Amino acid sequence: MSGQSLLVPGKISPTRPVPASIPRPEYVGKDAPTPYTGPEVQDAETIEKMRIAGRIAAQAMAEAAKLIAPGVTTDELDRVAHEFMCDHGAYPSTLGYRGFPKSLCSSLNEVICHGIPDSTVLKDGDIVNLDVTAYLDGVHGDNNATYLCGDVDEESTLLVERTREALNRAIKAVKPGRQINIIGRVIESYAKRFGYGVVRDFTGHGINSSFHSGLIVPHYDSPHHTTDIKPGMTFTIEPMLTLGSHDYDMWDDGWTVVTKDRKRTAQFEHTLVVTDTGAEILTLP
């Protein structure tokens, strides 16, 4: 693997404004969101709204990813996604969620998740995860992907490709009547082929009018998560695989999660709705 230096926090730019005409999620300006008490199964109208929000989130992520190259800051990626969502009438869901200061998460190399965009400059050989969620018409659409920056070493490239494949396999495993732990069982069995760690403490989640509904979608084989999968359920699958241990440390910012052994990690995510026969991806550009 690349012998590049480990990441350190950069300078965070001022909060980007959102036009007053764009509705905010209820948690903006609060310490925490109001706990969700509604159903995990959504009606057709809500699912259609999520399809639109998910499309905008996917498009915003794709627009930001176009800029990934050595010399670009993660703050610039945030600016592009922020402006895209606002231009399409959507609110960036992460902005103000439990105090998070930016409109996407940018997690490089050893950062598992929740990296804060800042003055950090992308370097040749980095791997870059972007996590973008859009709030529109009262619902959220959440997705992420890991991208290659310049000339990336083979070990890291394979980690990225296989993490994407782990997500694809997990989506295919979603069937009504199965328990939700089938998702983690499929991911972990695939990751073990290559000796990868599977992050356990950060999971997929239910999503709808709530950013995180309370439903937990583990990415490891967990006998304790036995919720039955039902048509109309909406949730994310977002496996995080590592080149080493699944153990982690957190930076003093209270958000940035890094592998304890500082080895690289990759992640991919889609928001899904369960159909009568499987799952439909709601975060397609």
Per residue in 4-28, pLDDT (tens digit) is: 789 999 999 999 999 999 999 999 9
With a CB cutoff of 8 Å and minimum separation 6, the contacts of 134 are 53, 54, 56, 57, 60, 85, 88, 90, 91, 92, 93, 140, 141
Beta-bridge partner residues of 111: 258
The average pLDDT across 53-63 equals 98
Tokens of 208: 């709808």
187 pLDDT above the threshold of 80: yes
The predicted-structure confidence for 234-263, as pLDDT tens digits, reads as follows 999 999 999 999 999 999 999 999 999 999
Q: How confident is the model at residue 2 (pLDDT cuts 50, 70, 90)?
A: very low
Tokens of 135: 């709030």
The average pLDDT across 17-46 equals 98
The average pLDDT across 222-233 equals 96
48 pLDDT above the threshold of 70: yes
Q: How confident is the model at residue 3 (pLDDT cuts 50, 70, 90)?
A: low
149 pLDDT above the threshold of 90: yes
Note the pTM of the prediction, 2 decimals.
Answer: 0.97
